[in-house]
Amino acid sequence: MPRASGPLAARSMTERWIEPLGLLQGPAASACLAQGIALPLQGGPLAFPLVRLLAEGRSIGILPVQAIPEAWRSLLLSLTRRPPDFAGIAPRLPGRPLVMGILNVTPDSFSDGGAAADAEAAIARGHAMLAAGADLLDIGGESTRPGADPVPPEEEIRRILPVVRELARAAPVSVDTRHAATMAAALEAGAEIVNDVTALRHDAGAAALVAAAEAPTVLMHMPGTEPRTMQAEARYGDVVLEVARFLRERVAALEAEGIPRARIAVDPGIGFGKTMAHNLALLERLPLFAGLGCPVLVGLSRKRFLGRLSGIAEAGRRAVPSVAGALFAASRGAAILRVHDVAETVQALAVWQAAAAGMVPEAAV
């Protein structure tokens, strides 16, 4: 393969990223991979024939993959290698993202107005999500909508523990919390995964607890550690690079604390301290995050920016824009989709995957 030479190859850089461009899927991806003119994104099924090289926050060139300079090629392994299945959960269909059902056991959920605020209703909703095709459930007892008041761990534990205990018998369960005490109680009750919107920064004991429990964890980007104030901090130069840099630093910090990269998924935090423009930029350039070598989780379900784009003010009526956003995220390399509308998302993914592959699934024959 030809290699770039001269100033581009020799330039010394303190921070470098390779951003995949021109994503392909289906027969086109397979053909280009076979010809050596594309590379797989995290092991496939998506592939990329072009890259943008970024150094010190600036683009320094767009190249075909064959012409990536030798000095940059060490960055390709984490970008092209398939990460281990997150929490050991294999997708129901190869190449399909995992579907994580959102279960808010709160009286003030932005998405459903507290429809699952009591344990009995939450358990019934969780079983319905699993029947509709969810691969795992994410259970939370504290609202993290913009401006939400904090909930003490004792109340959070009271809300979620019966729900976690029951649903963990049926499927993998993630606990959505910022508090180490809640993490510990939920893991003891059968939860397997910790999903922290502050990337284990809010509670000083969280990282050590997760490391000792050997629990897979989702690290999300949010400016600061308080949902009440995050929107006031939505100030970025290049939001994509700044979020990616934050996540890279958190992954490295937690590896040093005993949480291996193989147990980490990353979430760019759509809607958490972001404007609509920031959210759309993160979705469009989502393939950049594959370079962290972790599965990428996207949670945009029923978010306010979708309401603005679609003209739907009521969060509970945003299923269609949510599914559209989820499909776009899947087409950009998302490995996990965190959603409220499980049945609709699973059905849409089945059609998208079959159309992209140009094949009739065996189950539909």
CB atoms within 10 A of CB 170: 13
* Residue (of 202, 123, 127, 211) closest to 161 by Cα position: 123
Q: Is 338 a catalytic residue?
A: yes
Q: Where are the beta strands (DSSP E) in the chain?
A: 16-21, 39-40, 47-48, 50-55, 58-64, 98-104, 136-140, 173-176, 193-196, 217-220, 264-267, 297-298, 336-339
The answer, yes or no, to whether the previous bond of 7 is cis (omega within 30 of 0) is no
**Does residue 319 contact residue 344 with C-beta atoms inside 8 Å?**
yes
Q: Single out the catalytic residue among 125, 250, 302, 338.
A: 338
Q: Is 274 a catalytic residue?
A: no
| Residues 6+ away with beta carbon under 8 Å from 187 | 175, 194, 213, 215
Q: For residues 26 and 223, what is the distance between their CA atoms, to the nearest angstrom?
A: 37
* Residue (of 328, 327, 325) closest to 310 by Cα position: 325
Q: Single out the catalytic residue among 302, 303, 318, 332.
A: 303
Distance of CA 208 to the CA centre of its chain: 23
Q: For residues 178 and 261, what is the distance between their CA atoms, to the nearest angstrom?
A: 20
Active site residues: 303, 338
